[in-house]
Structure 1
Amino acid sequence: MTIDPSKISTSITPFAMIDEHSALPQEQEILFTMHSVFRIVEITQTPSNNRLWEVQLTITGESDPQLSTLTNRIKEEIDGEGWYRMGKLMLKVGHFDQAEELYNELLKGASTDSDIAYIYHQLGWLKVDQGKYPEAIKFYEKALEIDRKTLPEDHSSLANTYHNIGNVYNNMGEYSKALEYYENALNIREISLPPNHRDLSTSYNNIGGVYS
């Protein structure tokens, strides 16, 4: 492992030697921060044991162009701030159990209706990805209940939640219920969106799919 001091930001300490505090000082343990990023330089098989591989790593700097490209791409795909952003990232990479644990903790500390509705919506999304459709509907319905009390009747968030619930019922083969929610989403979108908006096309397509 190689660490070039010139690549380390003065505002970030990527690692600390903790062998003095370890139960086994001879192991020379190193503690790395979560935001430390290393580049894989080389992977070689050890001559003495063909079951072991040696990985050469070198720390990246904030000016690393590939790291900057990756970071910017993640920012484009995963919006939000703090732990909410972390939850989205966990969902994106399929770490559903960790995401659920995080959202449940966020739910305990949520202080506004919008935050609570958002967390319920994310939990619904999580359950859809897990294929647990009845649980997904329960969470989406909780989000919808809050949004209907706090948002205007033609708000896009309501349309999106109706749309998502319709998708779940459609996946379950309960087409009459899917149609009901798809039509609710369409009614809002026809009021709030321009006639050439993509979401309107999606609603028409979903309703057509149910009838077919």
Structure 2
Amino acid sequence: MGFFVQDLHRQIEQLYSQTHEKTKQILYRGQGISKIEFEKVKQSQGGLWAFNNFLSTSTDRDVSLAFAESVESDPDLIGILFQMEIDPFVSSTVFGSLNGTAYYSEENEILFSMHTVFRIGEIVQINDQLWQVNLALTNDNDEQLKSLTDYVRAEFANDFKHHQLGMLLRRIDKLDQAEEFFKGILESTVVKSLEEIADLHAQLGGIKHSQEDSLEALAHFQSALNIREKVLKPTDLALAKTYSSIGSTYCLMANYTSALAYHEKALKIREEVLPPIHSDLGIAYTNLGVVHHRIGDYQTALSYSEKALDIKEKTLPLNHPSLAITYHNIGRLHELMKDHFMALAYYEKTLMIEEKSLPPTHSSLGTTYSNIGAVYLTLENYSDALLYFEKALNNYQNSLLPNHPNLAATYNNMGTLYKSMKNYSTALLHHDKALEIQLTSLPSNHPTFAKTFFYIGEVYYSMENYSTALLYYAKAFEIQAKSLPSSHPNFALFFDKIKLVRRTLGFREETITCVE
């Protein structure tokens, strides 16, 4: 399609040069958008809106209003009348009048080239299903737009420019298309350098990591590492990135000793090569924080996460998704350390960025909804907890594979919520769904199983079915003892629960032993 896109763009440029207006104009566009997308627009008031297509507008408000009103029969859509203020002196965006050229000449059409960017102004409700959104064409020197554009351009810089489309597909969670893209290049007969082959394996490893296919991810990352260790200097940043990727995969596999070793290798290179304030150092600190979080060393994890946040706040645009990741990690640590209001504050910061910078179906939004729901559950605000868990479940069902562990985690959260509401049968139903997913997606000794067995034990304990509760607590403790260090906070929790139930059932205290 490239030829046709370029040809149309050049025609618009020609129209622009021939008929360029020298005065401000008000233009209109009417269309329907989904309710989810409209919520994102309202939350982005004052921010930027990019039309990633050739943008058809009209000088006639009534024509555009008719298009906006035409969606009223569809309950899933909101009709939007865009009112656009165009100042030709503040932007180099090209557009042209199609009077005498357009097929529908009565529409008084003005056509813009692709990627026109506006700032979102006032949003006014016209009726239940119809809104007016005021937009202003963005100044070429807009600081927010320039900062974001420069950062994204640098972020997607790659020695292999033809890989950038796949990198972008990965970033917006189009993982199947990204995999198809990179596999196509890797399997093509075009001659490739060793470093390009390494990059392709690294990209495919990243996709498989996001899909939580840890074994295939590790195989791709190892292929990349085998090449890079042969052709690169020991302090090359590409090596650090590969060590980091392998460390994150080992973390996914609950092999925390190996994860720490690889993340520390990555950090050593980055600290030696990079200035103290560099975004890659922020990534290294984030990764180490995640591993220490998983092994239950929350204070060390918080220290690394705060180091990462300090760097990211100094080097990234305020709405960058990477900042949201660090806010999320810090929020989770505060939640585990029982500072629930601080946790909620960080989760809300996370959500504010994600809703502005990610597609509505991006799975990171599901994770944040789930975390906010978990805090509300702890605070015994059950109605809000259920609302956010249902948002998380809906997001995951539209963005993840049916056996993805995040779906299992959400079912577990909902099970715990229903247990707190004393609806035990529904609680068990949700925990069973979680267990069913985990059995198809995780190794049998993964510590996540311990959580699920513990949650099921908690339901049976609340039902005063102590013998069944003891069975599940023992299963949880056995997996915990094999997969995590004895210093992990859950270790003592599970052991104490077993002692409590055994005492309730009349077992003698001295018969209690720890699983080796």
TMscore range, shorter length: 0.5 to 0.7
**Is 1:126 matched up with 2:207?**
yes
Alignment of 1:112-191 (within 5 A): 112-152=193-233, 155-173=236-254, 175=255, 179=257, 183=261
CA distance in 1, matches of 2:184, 2:97: 31
Amino acid at match of 1:80: A
- Decide whether the 8 Å contact of 1:45 with 1:53 is kept in 2: yes
SS at match of 1:38: strand
Among 60, 63, 66, the alignment partner of 2:138 is 60
Whether 2:175 is the aligned partner of 1:96: answer yes
| Conserved? CA contact 1:17–1:31, under 8 Å | no
1:9-24 matches, cutoff 5 A:
9=92, 13=94, 15-16=95-96, 20=101
Instruction: Supply the AA of the counterpart residue of 1:4.
Output: D
SS of the residue aligned with 1:136? helix
Q: What secondary structure does 1:80 align onto?
A: coil
Asked whether the 8 Å contact 1:182–1:206 carries over to 2, the reply is yes
- Out of 101, 124, 132, the position equivalent to 1:44 is 124
User: How far does the alpha carbon of each residue in 1:74-99 deviate from its partner, in whole angstroms, 9 at most, with x for none?
Assistant: 456x2415555555455444443454
Deviation at 1:124, TM superposition (A): 1.7
Q: CA deviation at 1:55?
A: 1.9
Change (3 A) 1:206 1:155: farther
1:40-70 deviation line (CA, Å, top 9, x unaligned): 1222222xx4212222222112112332233
**1:121 offset after TM fit, Å?**
1.1
1:2 to 72, 80, 85: 85
The normalised TM-score by structure 1 is 0.64
Unaligned runs of 5+ in 2: 1-83, 296-482, 486-516
Aligned length: 199
Residue 69 (str. 1) matches residue 143 (str. 2): no
Q: Which has the larger radius of gyration?
A: 2
Summarize the Cα distance change of 1:110–1:165 in structure 2 as closer, same or farther, 3 Å threshold. farther
One-letter amino acid matched to 1:125 = G
For residues 81-118 of structure 1, the C-alpha deviation after alignment (integer angstroms, 9 at most, x for no partner) is 55555554554444434544554565556833222322
Distance 2:220 2:138 in 1: 41
Q: Distance in 2 between matches of 1:6 and 1:192?
A: 45
The structural deviation recorded for 1:6 is 1.0
Contact 1:162/1:182 (8 A) holds in 2: no
Q: 1:80 aligns with which of 157, 169, 179?
A: 157
Q: Which runs of 5+ in 1 are unaligned?
A: none
- Cα deviation, 1:9-41, whole Å, max 9, x if unaligned, reads 2xx53x45568466x66564735313x211112
C-alpha displacement of 1:191:
8.9
Does the aligned pair in 2 maintain the 1:159–1:186 contact within 8 Å? no
Q: What's the secondary structure of 2:208's corresponding residue?
A: helix
Higher relative contact order (CA 8 A, sep 6+): 1
Change (3 A) 1:83 1:135: same
Report SS of the residue matched to 1:62.
coil
Cα root mean square deviation, aligned: 4.4
